[in-house]
Chains A and B, each alone.
Chain A
């Protein structure tokens, strides 16, 4: 097949569309079923989800974000985004086709907008990224007691993937990126007194486990539902449920 620059650009644009709940691009999750461009340069993208009963507000967010991302491509003359096999496919697809917006799509089931929902999941994504970076720091420096995390600032973190991911989540959530900004903060971005640090870190860990676990479950269900999605999925970069030492740890079954 000859590569088509428009569909390539479309896939790259979709890399920037995230599942807010799983904090990952919809492309890596395998949610993009197909990307096609016809002779008139009209783009048609089909999306698929792990179950018919995935929450419709998240389904709508991803589908409408996908349409926004694709509509800004200079080469596309028109964009059609279709959500397949969902209990609300009809409602959502009709809303997308008419550019009806969230309230126009869902009518009485929508009250205002989905900004609070987005903010809730940006908060969770930040907490999880903060925990990943700090747990990695604690593992690298066994001499560092947990309460000493109070004094750790962004400049103290190594220049690695966990730190870069944290910075992205901080920016998305509206927290500062200055090298002197404290890393361990509450949900409002404020540093915590040392005595509150263990519980904050512990809670952030529960957030991270919840998101990671959901991501595994959703990926697995998608593969069960659509076996051909297996090759579309990229491994989750943050996989704390994988063994540190694969030889001496329990085997994780891939199914």
Chain B
């Protein structure tokens, strides 16, 4: 909960991780390249006061996570969105057992989403059924650029991917978070293309598709799809920290999202531990569209409340204290 100028904001951090990128968990050079890339994101977009050392960044553990999010970060509820990266890390990048144990200990604060990879075909599908039961899954995180054997990425509209989405429907896994990394195969086309999201959103209208970092670097393609598909949502992972380094660019992203989507389909996240939530929440509450950007309307308190927590709370049935609500309910 964050309170400013008499307004109370219920905060849901919709995309967090508990990763282990220490050298002993790195399987090959790509494990190092991957965490180095994350660390450069962190160093490039964080205010100086929020910088972590490289050592801290490799692995931070559950206690630090609880402190950064809930003691200091104003967060009321957070959702794990793990990436497995089995081709880069021995025991995976996202730490399933550790994160799930933490979520089980703090069910009021943490939701554990798991991941799947359709290239495991039937064995993965059987696994998904067991995982859904064990983790009581409401959502999954899909990283389409994951490497797997000779394959370096998949599309959501691949035949096996459809079977997994059908299973999700049946198992009550309603929220599909999608991270479009550079999907490699085939290399002929745009690696960040979001057209496959369009297809699955049309064919699975009862599922929510949350596109992380709002389709960036393809914001316009994402907006075009989201305008036509009411079950496509924007996750603000990676976009949020621009509020510090490039506030005018951030204003344009938010302005475009509010124009093409609406205020009920945008979700805040810190992408912890890429960044920490405290400063992002505080700055977003203080944020306003610059006056000379007349093409965008000023942000309202109600819009900020929805983006910071009410939208994700509605999607995940997380109870919200009455004083944090807005008069018009956020849509699920």
Q: Which residues of A contact B (CB under 8 A)?
A: 21, 50-58, 60, 87, 102, 106, 108-114, 116-117, 120-121, 124, 202-203, 205-207, 209-210, 212-214, 216-217, 220-221, 223-225, 240-245, 248-253, 255
Contact = CB atoms under 8 A, between A and B. Distances in A.
A112 B189 CA distance: 10
B41 A111 contact: no
A60 to B, nearest CB: 8
Interface residues of B, number: 46
A122 to B, nearest CB: 12
B187 A87 contact: no
B52 to A, nearest CB: 14
A241 B249 contact: yes
A41 B308 CA distance: 60
B233 to A, nearest CB: 17
Contacts of A205: 256, 295
Contacts of B224: 203, 206
B136 interface: no
A240 B290 CA distance: 13
B150 A52 contact: no
A224 B188 contact: no
B179 to A, nearest CB: 12
B216 A213 contact: yes
Given A87-B30, A210-B220, A245-B292, A114 B188 contact: yes
Interface in B35-50: 36-37, 40-41, 43-45
B184 A109 contact: yes
Given A54-B182, A252-B246, A255-B245, A207 B220 contact: yes
Contact of A210 (B30, B34, B186, B219): B219
B33 interface: yes
Nearest to B192: A55
B259 interface: yes
Nearest to A202: B259
